[in-house]
Structure 1
Amino acid sequence: MTVPGDPSAPAALRPGTPPVPTLAGNAALGVTQIILWGGTFFLIAVVAGPIVASTGWPQGIVVGALSLAIFVSGLPAPLVGRLIRRHGGRPVLVAGSLLVAAGLALMAAATSLPIFLLAWAVAGIGMSASLFDPLFAAIGQAYGTAARGAMTQIAIASGFAVSLCWPATSFLVERIGWRGACLTYAVLAAVVVAPLYAWAVPRAARAGVPEAATGADPAAGPPAPARLPGEHLLAATFTTAAMIMTAVSVQLPLLLQALGILGGTAVALTTLIGPSQVGVRVIELAFGRRAHPVWSLLMSSASVGLGLLLLATLPAAAWLAMILYGAGNGMRTVVRGTLPYALYGQRDYAAAMGRLARLPLLGQAVTPLACGYLAEWFGPVTLLHLMLAVALVNLGLSLLVVRHALRPAAGTA
């Protein structure tokens, strides 16, 4: 039997000796994100048409099921963060992936619209405990200062999710139908993702929580997580960025068509986003470790804003707009994990990630519906201008976050 502090104990149980991330483990966690995002966020874009054709269900409700899942995923996010802080990430992430599998299996078997929506709600609960936010919370708590590189490596691997999952899902739908495609993702979530989480996520229950002070009650658990004065500002920044990403993901084909960019040209332009996301993450991994993540936040916001500005004012430079947008959005994924760690530290990181995840998820949930109505009422070009306005607001919020985050350092100089 080993106890914390015993030299024979695993590294995860020895105070001051956090587990060390490995390339194989990070690659495995990247695979989990490819499968989970392919079976949730990126699924409906491919299967909605076949579902409507085979069932006769209203297309708006079928497509809106994803918004339901995102909304549901935002509700338990703070609780998920607290569970990771108290019990470690492994059991939470494994349970989340199994819930996603259950939702997808129920989706494949759904014979009525209410059951179909219930399936997405179940998947949404699983999403709250298995996608980027809880994964980053888990590895941030476990790996400490080494977590930034691990997060970036995971983001690099998962950056191919769209490029891989949309063609793969289309192939599955053609071969075995939309129900078979949903069931395939359910099996992958259960027999690939859950075991990979069990293997690659450290077992440490509270790796980042320091030992209790002398005389403290060990049964009292970790102290309450901190809430920094600028937390609502950071949440608003993450929320506006997430809403822009969701709006572009849903409306980009329509926007390009409204700008006169059609057919193969439009498809070629959209393929620039994925490599740009991966490329900027590689640059972050190679050169960004010594810089405060708040500068990456500012660069992300500026790049997305400049990309949308180019698209709105100079459609001939749409290729550059896609590269800039992709780079900014790719950096956003990394910053979402690294910046809260820099601000909160290891002990409070998991709980903070849970709190910071709720508002962006709720914003993402309403964005597709809002964009659909705005495009119908005012036209795609006006929608693009509104997205640009939100991007400018996001840039302003990022500047305030920079000022707030660096103020203590300036005061101690």
Structure 2
Amino acid sequence: MGTLGALQILIWGSSYFLLAVLAEPISAETGWSRQQIYGGLSLGVFVAGLLAPACGRFIARNGGRQLLCASGPLVAVGLATLAASHSLVSYFIAWFIIGIGMALGLFEVLFATLGQTYGSNAKSAMTKVTLCSGFCTSIMWPLTAFLLDAYGWRWVCVIYAFLMLALVWPLYRSALPPYRPEPPPARSDTTGSPNPSASFTQIFVLVMLLFSLSGVLMAALSVLLITLLQGVGYTLAGAVAVGALMGPAQVGVRVIDLAFRNANALTKTKISVSLSAVGMLMTTLVPSTAAIGMVLYGAGNGLRTIVRGTLPLMVWTPSDYPVIMGRIARPALIAQAVTPLVGGYVLEHAGTKATWMLLSSLTLVNVALVWRLSVAMRQAGCNR
């Protein structure tokens, strides 16, 4: 699983987290605004969301190893196009291509592949992969900054394109077994079946909303956290220090989860949303406790990354799991794509306090959703 985790670090760092370091030098060289630059990332995530259900259907029929292998060359082409971009048109074309690669290579496809291949035994593999990938920003941001200082942002894109091209295809082929289709189950009550029961449809909607809101919260904090903390009195250095606490908290909770990997995924989901809600409320209502609040939120978010792969395995069979994961991923990714724009608008027009209150309210909505989900799963007999 170390190989899979390392590959996830590479693709996340070469796509989703790339602009955290490169946005400023790109803007300085080209004169494009930060909104235009981050608009490219939003386009890429939006494209990934649109393609998610199709990826799920493909995995259900053919397995996911082919998609994961193909993600490397696609992101490589996008990064090479990005390196050669001297106009916004080519810049957005680059992110469109990267978005296709993200659709094929991020957690959703890997989790769907692991769930289809190993069934309920995939929980341990998912935990180990997310543990490794939790070091993504800790590894990729310093590496990107080093390469930026040495070679400039265009050569950073070229170097990462080479790594994606050289490593992703062969390593996924060696790390994942080929797809071996199994006979379909005689009966499957899921939202992927022609006549899903009302209870399973309700569970699907609740899970989709739960993970979409969680993704929105993380996307908002990824872009706005430093500004929001400065808005409640922190210096830039203090805000960066508080924000940096989330990473170790995410990794720490995944280490702890290894000892409880067989625990009920719904229970873990309750813990995840509760930690996130308490952390956000502490930071919102008592800004001086932001350090503790962000540790709690980071722990909740670290656990969320695991349960978004394991919770659906409580409800759907391995054969249905890839399709369900694709359908769940679409609204979550699209919501994340528009979050920076919406969040920036709310912050600019409503202010810091209102933005904190909005984000805290979303965590409380998630708490309500997961408790309603618990009732629905109990009624459907899924609390195993």
Range into which the TM-score falls when normalised by the shorter chain: over 0.9
State the distance in 1 between where 2:244 and 2:170 align: 32
Query: Pick from 9, 13, 20: which aligns with 1:45?
Result: 20
1:364 matched residue in structure 2:
336
Structure 1 length as normaliser, TM-score? 0.87
Identify the match of residue 123 of structure 1 among 84, 94, 98: 98
Instruction: Say whether residues 1:84 and 2:56 are aligned partners.
Output: no
CA RMSD of superposed structures (Å): 1.8
CA distance in 1, matches of 2:383, 2:127: 30
Q: What is the identity, as a one-letter code, of the residue corresponding to 2:4?
A: L
Secondary structure (helix, strand or coil) at the match of 1:76 reads helix
Letter aligned with residue 360 of structure 2? L
Question: Distance in 2 between the 1:370 and 1:211 partners?
Answer: 43
Partner amino acid, structure 2, of 1:155: T
Counterpart selection for 2:109 from 128, 134, 137: 134
User: Match for 2:323 among 348, 351, 369?
Assistant: 351
Residue 300 (1) aligns with residue 272 (2): yes
Query: Of 131, 151, 155, which residue of structure 1 is paired with 2:130?
Result: 155
Residues 314 and 382 in structure 2, CA contact (< 8 A), matched pair in contact too: no
TM-superposed deviation, 1:193: 2.1
| 1:399 Cα deviation after fit | 1.1
Deviates more, 1:123-132 or 1:315-324: 315-324
Q: Quickly say closer, same or farther: Cα 1:187–1:205, change in 2 above 3 A.
A: farther
| Distance (whole Å) between structure 1 residues aligned to residue 254 and residue 62 of structure 2 | 30
Which of 248, 267, 290 is the matching residue for 2:240?
267
User: Per the alignment, in what secondary structure is the counterpart of residue 190 of structure 1?
Assistant: helix
Residue type of the alignment partner of 1:204: Y
In the TM superposition, residue 411 of structure 1 has moved relative to its aligned partner by: 10
Does the alignment pair 1:323 with 2:295? Answer: yes
Q: Deviations over 1:249-301 (max 9, x none)?
A: 11110111111121333222222111111111122221141x32111111111
Looking at structure 2, the residues matched to 224 and 258 of structure 1 have their Cα atoms a distance apart, in angstroms, of 44
Determine which structure has more spread, i.e. the larger CA radius of gyration: 1
What amino acid sits opposite 1:91 in the alignment? Q
Q: What stretches of structure 1 of length at least 5 have no aligned partner?
A: 1-25, 214-222
Match for residue 280 of structure 1? 253
For 1:349, the aligned partner's letter is Y
Q: CA separation in 1, counterparts of 2:236 and 2:47? A: 36
Report the alpha carbon displacement of residue 167 of structure 1 after superposing the two structures with TM.
1.3
Q: 2:345 — aligned with what?
A: 373
Paired letter, 2:251: V
Q: Which amino acid aligns with 1:142?
A: T
Q: Quick one: distance in 2 between partners of 1:98 and 1:141?
A: 24
Shifted more, 402-411 versus 373-382: the winner is 402-411
- Residue aligning to 1:8: none
CA contact (8 A) 2:80 2:158 kept: yes
- Superposed, 1:4-403 pairs within 5 Å as 26-206=1-181, 209-210=182-183, 225-226=192-193, 228-229=200-201, 230-289=203-262, 291-403=263-375
Q: Please tell me whether the aligned partners of residues 191 and 324 of structure 2 are also in contact (alpha carbons under 8 angstroms).
A: no
The CA deviation string for residues 86-114 of structure 1, in whole angstroms up to 9 with x for no partner, is 11111111112221111111111112110
Residues of 2 paired with 1:31 and 1:135: CA distance? 13
The answer to whether residue 379 in structure 2 is matched with residue 407 in structure 1 is yes
Ranges in structure 2 where 5+ consecutive residues have no aligned partner: none
> Structure 1 residues 231 and 224 mapped into 2: Cα distance closer, same or farther (>3 Å)?
closer
Contact 2:124 2:261 in 1 (8 A): no
Where 1:382 maps in the other structure, the secondary structure is: helix
Deviations 1:297-332 (A, max 9, x none): 111111111111000111221111011011000011
1:346 to partner: Cα distance: 1.1
Percent same amino acid at aligned positions? 43
Does structure 2 retain, via aligned residues, the 8 Å contact 1:294–1:405? no
Structure 2 distance, partners of 1:253, 1:205, is: 47
**Cα deviation 1:366-395 (Å, max 9, x = unaligned):** 100001111111112211111111111111
Contact persistence 1:97–1:127 (CA under 8 A): no
Give the secondary structure class of the aligned counterpart of 2:320.
helix
Q: 2:191 and 2:335 mapped to 1: Cα distance?
A: 27
User: Within 1, Cα distance between the matches of 2:323 and 2:287?
Assistant: 43
- Change in Cα spacing, 1:366 to 1:211, as seen in structure 2 (3 Å) is closer
